[in-house]
Amino acid sequence: MGGYMGYYLLIGGIALVSWLVSNQLKQKFKQYSKVHLRNGMSGKEIAEKMLADNGITDVQVISTRGQLTDHYNPKNKTVNLSESVYSQRNAAAAAVAAHECGHAVQHATAYKALQMRSALVPVVSITSSMSQWLVIGGLVLGAAAGVGMGFWIAVLGLVFMGAATLFSFITLPVEYDASNRALAWLKNKHMLTPEEYAGSEDALKWAARTYLVAAIGALASLLYWAMQVFGGRD
């Protein structure tokens, strides 16, 4: 049981860091939501202008329910902005709207990392939920049957877990690149004042850190379970 206690401590530590980063992100967005844009443009208008400036005419900007639910959907080519981002006219809304359009630009220019992530989505959606159960089940069977089939079930679980970890790490360049594209456009087109731009830049930095923590957490979990599976063999 000592090994499992180590796992719970590891996951607990990562969850704490994740909560701290997520909480800081929410605070930053709250702070920069008070920095109103001098140009008076809403998130929807900023998104539509960035798409137009990049020659993208087949992507629609729509409103979606919830908070921090903003995303780009490559299947139906829509930039989905949460209600507050869609209608508000502040530095936080500008950052998010431009970032999601960054993904649309990636899609339009066949950005490799985005293509790789999109290819992994169906695999990860099926395997991620069962990977840990396969590893634990395999370890239990392996302990009872003296390795054998249980070991290979656990290895299959590790392969599934590895796919989810790979997905987390491919997500990093996709997210960082989208933010870089967004910030470059906001700066080059003089969309924001220096104060507004600084707020947008800081907000996107904290958003990127949530993905970084998630990737580190996925890798730590994979390494822990790999040690349990392979370290337990004679």
Q: Which residue ranges make up each domain of the chain?
A: 2-231
Query: 10 Å Cβ neighbour count for 8?
Result: 9
pLDDT tens string, the chain, 234 residues long: the values are 455 677 778 888 888 999 999 999 999 999 999 999 999 999 999 999 999 999 999 999 999 998 879 999 999 999 999 999 999 999 999 999 999 999 999 999 999 999 999 999 999 998 888 998 999 899 888 765 556 788 899 999 999 999 999 999 999 999 999 999 999 999 999 999 999 999 999 999 999 999 999 999 999 989 989 988 887 554
Global pTM value: 0.88
CA 194/CA 187 separation, integer angstroms: 9
Q: Name the strands in the sheet holding 78-82, side by side, starting at the edge strand that comes first in the sequence.
A: 60-64, 78-82, 71-73
Query: What tokens appear for 72 in the block?
Result: 């780009």
